[in-house]
Structure 1
């Protein structure tokens, strides 16, 4: 095999094994930053050695063994700086032999539990939301700081600082590198799901920038969701979140025009929806329900997405069922955003005046006053109710608040085109 081909093989193997390497090393070292450095050292060694010796039969095990040896050498050097050589040798024998044997045993086994522990560690509630997102994409997703920065429209330095601070926070807080058990499991799992959900949503409906969607983030979130579903197959909310993402992602090809302009759900060509993703999503939803998760936050949202996915034409949408599901979701997950979406659903099921009545109940929500979709929904209800001037004002307010260039253009167009004629456009789908 040519050196260039071997280098490509090394890079491919490393991308596949990177998360597993860091997970196994972090479990041994209790230091994510050091684990990442040693994994990178193993890659450098492979790039130097494999072109000469050939690719080993078990490349992942080779990388782990190399990184493990570097870890032991590091332990030895650190102790050498602190104590006499003879004392170090005795302590290495007594303290590290079991750890080494354990790592070696793992090299031929699936270390899925350790990868799961890495996910839970990267998403630990001790970290800020931004730090959890950045660290998860870096450690489990394998994205570079530059790729993360571009995805979130921020500087590479900002992302690098977030990641460094996150690693330092984890190191100083004494967080255990393990999958939580007992009463800690549910809230910690909620933190993991929240991170994946945020990554997907930022890709699905970009809050800023020139593009309405960023598929890379959505695909990365789905990949993380599939890893989690494989490792936690008995958790209904895990399958519910994966179902939600797959069904929503099925609309990508139909959500924007050739020039990037958003296409509302009412006008999307459903023949362009990805039926395979829909089938996968519905299967995951069925799995979640079979596990008793029908009242979970993500399962309910997946059920809502499924209502749209099952309708072959917009006119076939079961808005009454969607309104009922939003009633349940609001009871389970009270939030202004859910209440807003519930108002949209009821406006479609029971008319624009019903939607306006529900929006009136949210007027005291200060968090919605600066939220573009709130004013977009109000503009939609008003236009459908024949209140043209008020609708134009609401759309103008929504456009002024939007940070996304394509959405701003879409809302400005709706403000300019507001007429007495009834329409059925949803503000953001």
Structure 2
């Protein structure tokens, strides 16, 4: 075996070649080799034998609302990154809104980095924001290291983060295309939303009618047209409506540079199961019917959907009233995504390798993190140790995110994260955390 400081050995290691017995050698902060299970360790190397537990690459979650600074009562860097580590996530990318100030200038980015510094248990990067008045600031944010830019095509829900109209979208895309950046898009069409019934009261059916599938489909059509005209790279956030899958696949065949994500709640929950008054299930776009969920799984299987990420968007419990018209929209799931997706995937005959591709390798590629997302020589020694056959019942009060509200309360899920390692250091073992070890990441230059 090559020189190494640490060797993690398991009967089940998920490598790029599939699941197999293996030994992963770590030198410093990087994986130095993936070798046979019984390869003799180098003299002096510490050996950790994981038995039958599965060694996975740490997950990468590119859609997390940390809300810090400004709304840290909703979450915060310390609690969000503890929840991430508890869920096997070793890298997250923070969204530019719900914090005050939003990440729409270099100065605001530095404010956010200052709030995070020394308080993160996992590695953390940042998206910038594209809003109506900051087109001139986008290049500076790109050069300062944001991973791309988020925009809304309909009102965001917070006054300080305005949405782009079609002309504003064109301006942002033209600017971003000039430096080959990435625009990530909350795609709902404001006209379609305005024409829908107003959400009010406790009935989930009423809320669902207020965010119809046509709102997503119309906005995605607008985005694809603009991306095709400008040549810009775009990414569709939190796809909920399976009706957009065919146009997305067709756009790719034409050469449009578009990628797509969906979220655990769209893959594991269904509108028919949401109790009236249960606003912990409210999110925008919404959780749709079971048949739509089945079609999203088909979109994952055929490659139209690239990534599965949390869209963790928490709030204080008082903002989750029983009225779907006034409650805050967002699902708290950062710690539970791997288990939730694995629970559903295994019932649909998907392998754990599929889940890891969707939740680690593909998000790392989206954000341009070349040393994340796989167990391979040269990659960061980021690991999740996973017991896929174990089950547990979700207790909101036992979760690490700040406010004990989640749509998964009381659900039985399969797959327990037993340990999490970051760059060769164990940061979580059986519920016990080390001190914060995470780093603040910047975008790597594209090769």
Question: Could you tell me the TM-score, scaled by structure 1's length?
Answer: 0.31
**Structure with the larger strand share:** 2
TM-score if structure 2 supplies the norm length? 0.30
Which protein is richer in helix relative to its size?
Answer: 1
Work out which of the two has the higher radius of gyration on C-alpha atoms and give 1 or 2: 1
Structure number with the bigger relative contact order (C-alpha 8 A, sep ≥ 6) is 2
